[in-house]
A and B are shown apart, each in its own frame.
Chain A
Amino acid sequence: MSEPRTLLAIDNVSKNFGRVTAIDGISLDIRENEFFALLGPSGCGKTTLLRMLAGFETPNEGRILLDGRDIARIPPNKRPVNLMFQSYALFPHMSVRANVSYGLEMERLPAKEIRSRVDAILATTELVAFADRKPEQLSGGQKQRVALARALVKRPRLLLLDEPLGALDKKLRGAMQLELKRLQHEVGITFVIVTHDQEESLVMADRMAVLRDGKLLQCDTPHAVYEHPADRFVADFIGVMNFVPGKAADDGVMAANGARIAGTVPAMLSPGAAAVASVRPERIRLFPPPETANRVAGTVEALAYHGLDLQLHVRTALSQKPFLVRVTADAADRRPVASGDAVELGWDAADVRIFAD
């Protein structure tokens, strides 16, 4: 495969509404044929950024380059970018076919071409049987597919999706996550999805950007963001993390109770500075071998069975909050534990991430 090419370059873009800064100097590149996720808590600016890409907001500063051309001030009806709205925004007075044809009619394409392209996309999105229905005659999942078909049929350079699965129930979401990824692969269009659901971006995205208060915190592959979060906020926001607060030492963090958590200290943290050591629940072992770098005794407070794994809350002297530990069903079967049991937890120094606190 050839070297991925930059399709969209967001170059030092800022946007404020009155005195409120929604986007604060964000720069990031989105590559051709990529499934890219903009992730962050509500109010982080991700929707504003998406609306700037669609043309509904104009940045106060910076450039938005699509194929090298600055589109920041081009109106939404004149850019090769389409948006799938969170509410789907299907035209209620038009049939599914009319909804999907609308965008091609605006391009003044010949009727024959419109018909064949609409037929093709209805087949791809499995909507042929519903072509003559009105939006109100469709289920949530079907509406979502119509919204997708309506945007995809335009063959945009960039497809923007605003919380596309937000309105669906949990079971359907899981199926649609994979469905969206399959479709993106099939049509070969670059997708930018906005979501507040970190699990959704981990599952779907090739790369993701984590935003907070209008600033870009980290932009990388889901694996890199999960394994090497840029800061404490990202570590906490993506997945589940156990934190042990303390002070930075040469080769780890000194917890309040005097215990030392071994791990690699980032260069920017000088010894004695407030720091936090963190470890993912699935990296913690119950009853670890004696050579394990970090070990601590605790008491099981609660446990929840999830089928594939067992989640334990273990109270230790290291932190106020109990540790969350995930052990596989197999491991739990080998050595069963119950609420109130005294246990020992252990994890490797390589699994510890240390951040400024």
Chain B
Amino acid sequence: MRSFTPSRSSLLMAPALAWLTALMVVPCALVLALAFFRRGIYGGIEYSFTLENFGLVLDPLYAGIFLNSARIAGTATLIAVVIGYAAAYAIAAAPRRWQPVFLFFAVLPFWSNYLIRTYAWIVLLNREGLITQLLRWFGYTGEPPSMLYTEGAVIAGLVYNYLPFVILACYAPLSRLNPELAEASRDLGASTMTTFRRVILPLTVPGIAAGAVFVFVLSIGNFVTPALLGGGRFQMIGNLVYDQFLTANDWPFGAALAMALIAIMLLVLMAQALAADRAAGRTAEAKAAADG
């Protein structure tokens, strides 16, 4: 292939850059600017510089919501990784010609709307929902279990919605793994469990990390799932930001909260990129040493 000159490549990138600037960078800059203004007495914005919005973010009440969001997102991530890795492992172990079929079923929920998928959980978890009816069918006569509007429901919704990402991210390294590596481990005297712990798991960590970051970042800022399945009782940052903009009419504080959330996400993404970069750097270094 012909290599592109710098001017040619910048020409090709121009539309994407223009798009991102107009619809990502500029709005973000506006929100960031908003965070440094005061809230007007009757709502609206008073254009005088202040840092108190950011001070308020660190207030124990709001910092607690940040921590709570991180905990819920963390729990959802952990569960999604365990279930998703197991599913990816099973798919990678299936006969080659069946693997695309199983992967198709794994991502099938993506073909429907996020809201509809979340509403489906309301139908399931409702006091007189499908699960309660199923229990009754098995002869349960007591009080219907309260499942909807709990933290568990929020976590279940998040896990369900982001599981396909984990499956896809873990499937990639698992399917590329040379099956002879596991056989070699067995041949050298390792049990199936030891083989998994010392050979298969370490070699598929990049996939786990990519999937986990995806679930965590999408979960911690999520506001639809906690609103619908948490019933507003379990506030996450997403809901708080939503409330500041649309209910409390405190745009500057909402903007400061949104910026803090973006900062957390960027930190997580940077940590992952750094780790991946270091691994790639090691590989490149190793390749150079082998060639030289």
Interface, chain A (partner B; CB < 8 A): 54-56, 75-78, 82-83, 85-87, 89-93, 102-103, 106-107, 133-134, 136-139, 150-151, 154
Asked whether A54 and B187 contact (CB < 8 A) given A89-B181, A137-B289, the answer is: yes
Chain B residue nearest to A147 (CB atoms) is: B184
Most chain A CB atoms below 10 A, which of B178, B184, B290? B184
Most chain B CB atoms below 10 A, which of A54, A91, A107? A91
Asked whether A106 and B183 contact (CB < 8 A) given A89-B178, A138-B290, the answer is: no
Chain A to chain B: the 7 pairs with minimum beta-carbon distance, closest first: A106-B189, A103-B188, A89-B184, A89-B180, A137-B290, A76-B186, A137-B286
For the complex, is B10 an interface residue (Cβ under 8 Å from A)?
A: no
Q: Are A77 and B289 in contact (CB under 8 A)?
A: no
Chain B residue nearest to A150 (CB atoms) is: B188
Expressed in whole angstroms, the Cα–Cα distance for A75 and B289 within the complex equals 39
List 19 additional contacts besides A77-B190, A91-B184, A154-B189; criterion CB under 8 Å: A55-B187, A76-B186, A76-B187, A77-B186, A77-B189, A82-B187, A83-B183, A83-B184, A83-B187, A89-B178, A89-B180, A89-B184, A90-B184, A91-B199, A92-B181, A93-B203, A102-B190, A133-B289, A139-B290
Asked whether A76 and B180 contact (CB < 8 A) given A106-B194, A136-B290, A137-B290, the answer is: no
Expressed in whole angstroms, the Cα–Cα distance for A77 and B185 within the complex equals 8
Chain B residues whose C-beta falls within 8 Å of the C-beta of A83 in the assembled complex: 183-184, 187
Chain A residues whose C-beta falls within 8 Å of the C-beta of B287 in the assembled complex: 136-137
Asked whether A75 and B186 contact (CB < 8 A) given A92-B203, A106-B194, A137-B290, the answer is: yes
For the complex, is B191 an interface residue (Cβ under 8 Å from A)?
A: yes
For the complex, is B21 an interface residue (Cβ under 8 Å from A)?
A: no
Q: Are B185 and A134 in contact (CB under 8 A)?
A: no
Chain B residues whose C-beta falls within 8 Å of the C-beta of A138 in the assembled complex: 290
Q: Are B183 and A89 in contact (CB under 8 A)?
A: yes
Q: Are B183 and A56 in contact (CB under 8 A)?
A: yes
Chain A residues whose C-beta falls within 8 Å of the C-beta of B189 in the assembled complex: 77-78, 103, 106-107, 154
> How distant is B177 from chain A, measured CB to nearest CB, in Å?
10
Chain B residue nearest to A136 (CB atoms) is: B286
Most chain A CB atoms below 10 A, which of B188, B194, B289? B188
> How distant is B95 from chain A, measured CB to nearest CB, in Å?
13
For the complex, is B55 an interface residue (Cβ under 8 Å from A)?
A: no
> How distant is B26 from chain A, measured CB to nearest CB, in Å?
44
Chain A residues whose C-beta falls within 8 Å of the C-beta of B283 in the assembled complex: 136
Expressed in whole angstroms, the Cα–Cα distance for A190 and B194 within the complex equals 28
For the complex, is B60 an interface residue (Cβ under 8 Å from A)?
A: no
Chain B residues whose C-beta falls within 8 Å of the C-beta of A139 in the assembled complex: 290
> How distant is A353 from chain B, measured CB to nearest CB, in Å?
40
Q: Name 14 interchain pairs, CB-CB below 8 A, sorted by A.
A: A55-B187, A76-B183, A76-B186, A77-B186, A77-B187, A78-B189, A89-B183, A90-B184, A91-B185, A92-B203, A102-B188, A133-B289, A136-B286, A151-B188
